[in-house]
Each structure stands twice: as C-alpha cells, then as structure tokens.
Amino acid sequence: MKPETAILLTLVLPLAATLLTVLFSRRPNVREASTLITAGAVLLAVLSLLPRVLAGERPELTLFEVLPGLAISFRVEPLGMLFAMIASGLWLVTTFYSIGYMRGHKEENQTRFYACFAVAIFGALGVALAGNLFTLFLFYELLTISTYPLVTHHGTEKARRGGRVYLGILFTTSIGLLLFAVIWTWNIAGTLDFREGGILAGKIDGTTATLLLALFAFGTGKAALMPFHRWLPAAMVAPTPVSALLHAVAVVKAGVFTVMKVIVYIFGIDLLGGSGASVWLMYVAGFTVIAASLVALTRDNLKARLAYSTISQLSYIVLGAALAQSWGVIGGSMHIVMHAFGKITLFFCAGAIYLTTHKTEISDMRGIGRVMPVTMFAFLIGSLSVIGLPPFGGSWSKWYLVLGAAQAGQGLFIAVLMVSSLLNVAYLIPIVVRGYFSTGDDGVQHPAIREAPMFCVVPLCLTAAACLVLFFYADSIYELLAPIVGV
C-alpha cells in the first residue's frame, strides 16, 4: 500500500464508521460489527506506515491549500506515529468494552455514542498526523466539538453542567490563547510546518520564546495544566467508555501530544534548552504533578480520583518536554503510551465495578476484589504501571524522565518525580487493599464471583497485559522516538 493511501484511509475510515453507525442504527449487531471492522482496518492502515517511519521516511499527504503556503497537510513522523498507533489500537479495544458496558447498563442513544466516538477518533488521528500547526488546530477543535455530546450523553442537568465547563474551558483556552500563538508563530516564521530542529531558532529571543511558549502551554487546555484543569473532573459525568476515551485514547493525549510536538518541532529543544525559556513551565508542571496527586488523595469517588491522577500524570509529559533535553523528551513521549494503557485499564475496571455492583465510592468497595477478582487484579496491574514499578511499562518512562531532569541539572524535579510516585502509591494501592482484604458492608465475605460481561472483562485483561508487555518492548518505543531528538 502506498503511504499516501494509508494516510488517507487512516483519516477516511473513521468517517465511514460514523456513516455506517447511523445507517445501521436500528440493527445494533451490524452497527457495532461495522465499527469493530472499521477500527481494525484503521489500525492496519496505521501499522502499514510504521516500517517506513522506522526506516527514516516521513510520508506526506497534502489535500489542498487554504492560503499560499498554508495547506491542510499530513506528515508521519515518529511522535505522530506513536500517537496514531495508540489512538487506533485503543479505539478497537474500547469499542469491544463499550459493547459490553452500553448494553449491560442499557444506555440510551447508543447510535449517537458510537457515531460521535468515531468522529472523535478521526479528530485524534488528524492531530497525530498533522503536518503543520494549522491542520493540527483544526482537528484539535473538531475533537472538542465531537466529544461534547459524549460528555453530556446522559442528558441530566449534572451532565449538561459538566458539558458547559468542558466546552467553556477548552474553547476559551484554544481560541483565546492557542489560536493567537499559531498566528504569532506564522507572523514570525512565515510557516507553520513541523520541522526537525524547530522553525523559530534564530528568529526570536528568550523573552519572546517565553511568552509564546506560555500561550501554547496554557492554550492547549487539553493538557490540563493547572489552573486550566477543571474541565477534566467535570467531564467524569460521562459514561465510563467516554472517560476512557478522554483519559487514555484521544482528548488528554491530544493535549500533551500537542505540547510535545510544539516544543520539539516548532521551538526546537536547542532553542529552549539554551535560552532557559521553558524553565517556568517545569515549575508549573511540577506543581501540577504534586497538587493534583494531593487532591486525588481526598476523593472518595473512584472516577474522580482517577481524573485527578490523570491531571498529575499528564504533567509528567509536559515536564519531560519542558526539560528540553533528549532524555526528558523521550521519557515524556514514552509516558504518552505507558500512561495510556495503565489509565485505560483503571477506567475499564472502574466501569466494570459500577456495571456489576453499581458502586462508585471507594469507601463502598470493601471486599470487591473477592467478588470481582479478575477485575481487581487488572486494577492492581494498571496501578503498578501508573506508579512506575517494574516489570510494568510506566517504570521506563519515569526512568527516562529522571534521566532528563538529571541531564538538565534540575535535581528538584527528580525529587518531584519520586514524591509523586509515593503519592501514586498512597491513592491507588489502598483501593486494592480495601478490595481484597476488607469485608463487605455487612461484615461477611460474599463468595459468589460476579464479574462484568465478557465484552468488558476481556478488554481490561488485554490492556493490563499490555502494561507488562510494554516493559519488555520499551526498546522498540525508544528506537521509534530516538530520531526526534537526534539520538
């Protein structure tokens, strides 16, 4: 398959899935089968590009020019390749999970759910493969719009209120700050193309770089840097498959991916590392890492605790980018995939627990591990990966982040990473301990095992297993990412 064809299929097939979902709205089995088949086809199209990227090629596709020098174009480089594989692979897994969850919970408006989900994946893949800032911005905004109906899926006042916060913060930051940063970059550099080494080197001083970086960092609201993080907990009113989409597959990953891509391909790590223009961002990210972890400790609602955990973990990636050193960039980029699999496992487990027992508060989950042993064991594996313990994937990304902080001479952030890992233990492991070693509400252990439907249990087992597999194949991810920092 020609690379241009693969790129086009990657983008067109999610739209085809949307159309098929609507056409077969009255035939649920056909509707969901078509989504699964299309998701599988997208994954194959994305994977067909991988050998070329590993060989040093950078496949491109330009659709049309909007203005002279400003086109809707796509270019597959290592960082985008990684994000595209995550989005397409986890779309397939999340669709399996959604079938079990949506049917088991007898959710309404399932056709709208699957259709909007497919459009959101289209947006995420457009962000991943964007060849310039203009294209990335368009798909970034599409991702916000397409996920709004998912956040407000239940149609309650609480859901609508959460949706207003979601749209309000993401649109305010992107239009008020990110769009301004894109226009300013165009004015300075005369191009918005993503290029190795950046496009701003030699064209701006340290002060301008600091201001422009602030617009990008805070304008990318999906990265959930404090104080622009409240949209993420507010979006937890959505069904669990949507929470998994928000936290692991598309939305937040699009945010931190954008920050990483801007630092690597617009500024260039040499410019930021030499000027010190990103030092302030290290402190903002470090503060968010610790503060969000402390808030997570206070939340009894399981999804709320996981939401604040996500805010903290996203700032690991921003911190890696802000360090502007090769190890930090690799560690932050690697954490995109490691966190994706760890966190989607935790949300899958939270949804399975709710579907089976209707429990949402951690304090009510005493003895749940004996009733749902498979689910709780998967939760343990996802937790250990998020914490960063071997032999799970999260240990490698955190290791490279520590190396990046040392390389940058920023010992304070080594301490931040260590303290954060201890806080991860404090807010995740007690859930497992309560689940396995505490008795039920009536003081008696209930021997009957009642796992969620197979369509829910199999995906969470697969993503938990992936946390282990990623530990042993981290060198392959490193090999893919090394060219972005010239290693």
Q: What is the mean pLDDT of residues 318-331?
A: 95
Q: What is the pLDDT of residue 115?
A: 92
Q: What are the two backbone dihedrals, phi and then psi, of residue 72, each rounded to the nearest 5 degrees? A: -85, 105
Strand, coil or helix: what is 307? helix
Confidence category of residue 478, pLDDT binned at 50, 70, 90: very high
Highest mean pLDDT among 142-151, 161-170, 329-338, 436-445: 329-338
Q: CA 280 to CA 413: how far, in whole Å? A: 12
Confidence category of residue 281, pLDDT binned at 50, 70, 90: very high
Residue 29 has pLDDT above 80, yes or no: yes
Q: What is the mean pLDDT of residues 257-274?
A: 94
Confidence category of residue 182, pLDDT binned at 50, 70, 90: very high
Q: CA 40 to CA 317: how far, in whole Å? A: 28
Q: What is the mean pLDDT of residues 239-249?
A: 72
Q: What is the pLDDT of residue 444?
A: 42
- Provide the angle, in degrees to the nearest 10, between the axes of the packed helices 302-322 and 394-407: 40
Q: CA 455 to CA 425: how far, in whole Å? A: 29
Q: What percent of the chain stands above pLDDT 90? A: 73
Q: CA 238 to CA 306: how far, in whole Å? A: 14
- Provide the angle, in degrees to the nearest 10, between the axes of the packed helices 326-357 and 454-472: 160
- Provide the angle, in degrees to the nearest 10, between the axes of the packed helices 78-104 and 3-23: 20
Q: What is the pLDDT of residue 487?
A: 65
Cβ partners under 8 Å of residue 175, min gap 6 = none
- Specify the pTM: 0.94
Q: What is the mean pLDDT of residues 150-159?
A: 83
Q: What is the mean pLDDT of residues 306-329?
A: 94
Q: What is the mean pLDDT of residues 24-52?
A: 94
Residue 420 has pLDDT above 80, yes or no: yes
First to last CA, the chain: 30
Confidence category of residue 260, pLDDT binned at 50, 70, 90: very high
Query: What burial letters (b/e) apply to 228-259, b meaning 16+ CB within 10 Å?
Result: bbbbbbbbbbbbbbbbbbbbbbbbbbbbbbbb
Q: How far is CA 80 from the centre of its chain?
A: 13
Q: CA 465 to CA 309: how far, in whole Å? A: 21
Q: What is the pLDDT of residue 66?
A: 86
Confidence category of residue 448, pLDDT binned at 50, 70, 90: low
Q: CA 92 to CA 39: how far, in whole Å? A: 5
Q: What is the mean pLDDT of the chain?
A: 91
Q: What is the pLDDT of residue 442?
A: 47
Q: What is the pLDDT of residue 234?
A: 85
Residue 445 has pLDDT above 70, yes or no: no
- Reported as a single tens digit per residue, the pLDDT across 63-109 is 988 888 889 999 999 999 999 999 999 999 999 998 988 887 777 78
Confidence category of residue 272, pLDDT binned at 50, 70, 90: very high
Residue 443 has pLDDT above 50, yes or no: no
Name beta bridge partners: 130.
Answer: 74
Q: CA 348 to CA 377: how far, in whole Å? A: 12
Confidence category of residue 447, pLDDT binned at 50, 70, 90: low
How is 8-64 classified by DSSP, letter by letter? HHHHHHHHHHHHHHHHTTT-HHHHHHHHHHHHHHHHHHHHTTHHHHHTT---EEEEE
| H or E element in which residue 65 lies | strand 60-67
Q: Is 195 exposed, middle or buried (0-12, 13-18, 19+ CB in 10 A)?
A: middle
Contact assessment for residue 479 and residue 127, using Cβ atoms and an 8 Å cutoff = no
- Reported as a single tens digit per residue, the pLDDT across 364-399 is 889 888 889 999 999 999 999 999 999 999 999 999
Q: CA 420 to CA 481: how far, in whole Å? A: 25
Q: CA 343 to CA 382: how far, in whole Å? A: 7
Q: What is the pLDDT of residue 103?
A: 83
Question: Which has more confidence, 109 or 140?
Answer: 140
Residue 155 has pLDDT above 60, yes or no: yes
> Is the Cα torsion angle 461, 464, 470, 472 positive or negative in sign?
negative
Provide the 8-state DSSP code for 288.
H
